[in-house]
Amino acid sequence: MELTLGFSPCPNDTFIFDALIHHKIDTKGLTFRVEYYDVETLNDKAFNNELDITKLSYHAFAYAVDKYELLDAGSALGFGVGPLLITKGENLATKLKQYPEKDLPAALQDLRVGIPGRYTTANFLLGLAFPTLQSKQELVFSDIEQALLDNEIDLGLIIHENRFTYQDKGLFKVVDLGDFWEKKTQQPIPLGGIVIKRDLPAEIKLLVNQLIRESVEYAFANPKSGLEYIRSHAQEMEETVMYKHIALYVNKYSIHLGKDGRSAVNILFDKALELGLIPKFDTNIFLT
């Protein structure tokens, strides 16, 4: 049986799925047709029910729970892994640091913010921390730093490997939104998860979850096994940066969400519902 599988070309995803898609583990007769996209495109494809299995933002998942269930394996959660809000000017960074969860002065409310997608968890966290920032421009995540340098935006919301490169480009951190979340909730931040179509047979869904878990475990046991594959999708990233990226986003929650991971996901949805940032739903979100 062939299933379509969508994930990003970022090192954390290619690290997770290398053993699965290259049959380094026994896939029990399943094969996977991989499609690579940035996170917001993956979100859109989930909304349209296009892929059998896909990575998506936890924020976006709230809009796709009628079509997909969340797997226990493959998620990106953790402490110290959140998105960063950055800017080109140190003075602006210093000024904004005093305002999380407060109304911004009128002079700051119209700052142009580059975001990696409306439905990203990063944008949800931005709305939680700076609810009055409204002038948002959706960009591919890898273009946000350059847009700041070119003065096309005033603030940039960065994810993935950009958190390792922004300082080298003379940019300044306003706030670490993951740290903001952790202090507010004492929970790991749920960034992205792996979901599977609800209408697939139950035994297939359980098998896919098992195989993704085995793929992650294989990657941890053989961390250099997928190096060439990971590098081929890593946008000329240095190997040390690739593995920093992987270490940041692939951890025990990627093997199995567990009680703590599930609790963090539920709290994120509760907070988003309180703020009216996601629609209400009464569907069980976890694979059963």
Q: Residue 186: CB partners within 8 Å, gap ≥ 6? A: none
pLDDT at 235 > cutoff 80: no
Domain 84-185 fold is D-Maltodextrin-Binding Protein; domain 2 (3.40.190)
Angstrom distance (rounded) from CA 91 to CA 94:
5
Angstrom distance (rounded) from CA 230 to CA 224:
9
Tokens representing 46?
């989930």
Confidence class for position 80, pLDDT limits 50, 70, 90: confident
56 in a known ligand binding site: yes
Most confident stretch, 22-26, 80-84, 240-244: 22-26
DSSP H/E element including 250: none
Please write the tens of the pLDDT for every residue from 165-192. 888 899 999 999 988 999 889 999 999 9
Q: Where are the alpha helices (DSSP H) in 31-81?
A: 39-47, 58-61
pLDDT at 161 > cutoff 80: no
Kindly report the average pLDDT of the chain as a whole number: 92
Residues counted in the chain: 288
Confidence class for position 18, pLDDT limits 50, 70, 90: very high
| Ramachandran class of 18: left when φ > 0, alpha when ψ lies in -120 to 50, beta otherwise | alpha
How large is the greatest C-alpha to C-alpha distance in the chain, in angstroms? Answer: 60
55 in a known ligand binding site: yes
**CATH class (in words) of the domain with range 2-78+189-274:** alpha beta
Give the residue extent of every domain in the chain: 2-78+189-274, 84-185
pLDDT at 256 > cutoff 90: yes
pLDDT, position 236: 64
pLDDT, position 184: 87
CATH topology identical between 2-78+189-274 and 84-185:
yes
pLDDT, position 107: 77
**Active site amino acids:** 160
> Residue type for 135, please?
S
If we measure between CA atoms, which residue out of 208, 195, 165 comes closest to residue 58? 195
14 in a known ligand binding site: no
Angstrom distance (rounded) from CA 153 to CA 212:
38
Please write the tens of the pLDDT for every residue from 203-221. 999 999 999 999 999 999 9
pLDDT at 244 > cutoff 80: yes
If we measure between CA atoms, which residue out of 248, 251, 284 comes closest to residue 265? 284
pLDDT at 153 > cutoff 80: yes
